[in-house]
Amino acid sequence: MTLTEILVSASLLVISASASLQVWASGSRWSLRSEQRLEQQQALEAELLAVQARLQQLAGTPVAGDCEDAADWLVSQLPALQRQGEGVLLRLQAGDGGERQRWYDPAAYGLCNPSAAPLQAPSP
Amino acid sequence: MLPLAWSVSLLLLLSSLSLQALALQEGSLQALQLRRRQQEDQLMTAAQRLAGRLQRQHSCLLPLAAAAWPAAGCATATELAELRQGLRAYQPAPAGGDPQAPEGRVELLLQQGEGAAAFALHWRRPDPAGPPVLVALRELGLRQVQP
């Protein structure tokens, strides 16, 4: 074993170790970022499902004769919603987690029916 | 000594690269999942629009299979064409359900681009002689369809 051989081997090891350390660090940064993104996506999904579950709960009981009034009533019940056109829009955003957007029509849930009783008092 | 150093450095580099590849794959899987969920959102919105339209303007079509729509006489040919946009299937469930029953369910399959999803519409007749009224819309999930 010559001195040259030892020097070459040592520098080879140092270079490869530092390079792989850098790649490893960037890989774990990526992993961390995608884990955070996954959490945000799951939070959005949970929020969306909660709104939809509440809609299903309210479904079937007419609250107004007019669908516009029913949409206004829905917004008062579920603050995550906003009025858009004849219905309501749910828009959820979370930085890196992307954006979710769904439009709901009170008529699809039987919330407005011309033969319905006048607007119900909002339930808690 | 030199061959050993070579092998160790190769091992180090390979292991870190495979870790990096794993992280990248995880990221692309997540992007795919987000796209799939956004596709579900679009299909749900389309289903809401169709259901709302049926309820507001053509409630007599609600309990009927799509094949029976033209004979029902409560929508013009243009309106029917608009209603059928993206609609791959619309039929009572279970098949042959009585449109005059006090309540019932229809299943529909909507397509948008490459994605398709099934939904169930539940209807009821508050007045036995009156028109059906939608009471709920449920998602049945994404479906595979032939393009």
pLDDT digits (tens, 9 = 90+) for A50-86: 999 999 999 888 888 888 999 999 999 999 999 999 9
| Amino acid B146: pLDDT | 75
Q: CA-nearest residue of chain A to B15? A: A20
Q: Enter the tokens of residue B111.
A: 């397509």
- For residue A84, list its beta bridge partners: A87
Q: Are B13 and A20 in contact (CB under 8 A)?
A: yes
**Closest CA–CA distance from residue B66 to any residue of chain A (Å):** 18
| Amino acid B139: pLDDT | 93
In sequence order, what are the residues at sequence separation of 6 or more whose Cβ sits closer than 8 angstroms to the Cβ of residue A55?
A74, A78, A104, A109
Inside any domain, residue A10: no
Are B26 and A19 in contact (CB < 8 Å)?
A: no
Task: Write out chain B residues lying below 8 Å of A5, CB-based.
Answer: 1-2
- In angstroms, the CA B66 to CA B87 distance is 9
In sequence order, what are the residues at sequence separation of 6 or more whose Cβ sits closer than 8 angstroms to the Cβ of residue A66?
A112
- In the predicted structure, residue B141 carries a pLDDT above the cut 80: yes
Are B136 and A60 in contact (CB < 8 Å)?
A: yes
Portion of chain B with pLDDT greater than 90, in percent: 52
Q: Coil, strand or helix: which one is A95?
A: helix
**Closest CA–CA distance from residue B28 to any residue of chain A (Å):** 9
Number of domains within chain A: 1
By Cβ distance, the residue of A1, A108, A113 closest to B137 is A108
- In angstroms, the CA A59 to CA A57 distance is 6
Are A8 and B2 in contact (CB < 8 Å)?
A: yes
Element (H, E) at B51: helix B2-57
Inside any domain, residue A3: no
Inside any domain, residue A44: yes
State pLDDT tens for residues B89-124: 999 988 767 777 888 999 999 999 889 999 999 998
Q: Coil, strand or helix: which one is A111?
A: coil
Q: Enter the tokens of residue B114.
A: 């490459």
By Cβ distance, the residue of B30, B38, B51 closest to A38 is B30
Q: Are B1 and B9 in contact (CB under 8 A)?
A: no
Inside any domain, residue A74: yes
State pLDDT tens for residues A84-116: 999 999 999 988 778 999 999 999 998 987 665
Inside any domain, residue A20: no
Which amino acid appears at position B110 of this protein? L
State pLDDT tens for residues B22-70: 988 988 998 899 999 999 999 999 999 999 999 988 988 999 999 989 9
| Amino acid B106: pLDDT | 93
Q: CA-nearest residue of chain B to A111? A: B135
Inside any domain, residue A61: yes
- In the predicted structure, residue A37 carries a pLDDT above the cut 70: yes
- In the predicted structure, residue A118 carries a pLDDT above the cut 70: no
Are B5 and A100 in contact (CB < 8 Å)?
A: no
Q: Enter the tokens of residue A121.
A: 């008092």
pTM of the model: 0.85
- In angstroms, the CA A44 to CA A49 distance is 9
Inside any domain, residue A123: no
- In the predicted structure, residue A122 carries a pLDDT above the cut 60: no
Task: Write out chain B residues lying below 8 Å of A97, CB-based.
Answer: 34
Q: How many residues does chain B have?
A: 147
Inside any domain, residue A13: no
Dihedral (Cα; A63, A64, A66, A70), 10-degree rounding: -40
Please say whether the dihedral angle defined by the alpha carbons of residues B94, B97, B103 and B104, taken in this order, is positive or negative.
Answer: positive
Element (H, E) at B42: helix B2-57
Tokens 């603050």: give the residue. A79
Are B41 and A102 in contact (CB < 8 Å)?
A: yes
The whole-number average pLDDT for the span A10-31 is: 92
Q: Which domain holds residue A101?
A: 36-117
Are A17 and B19 in contact (CB < 8 Å)?
A: no
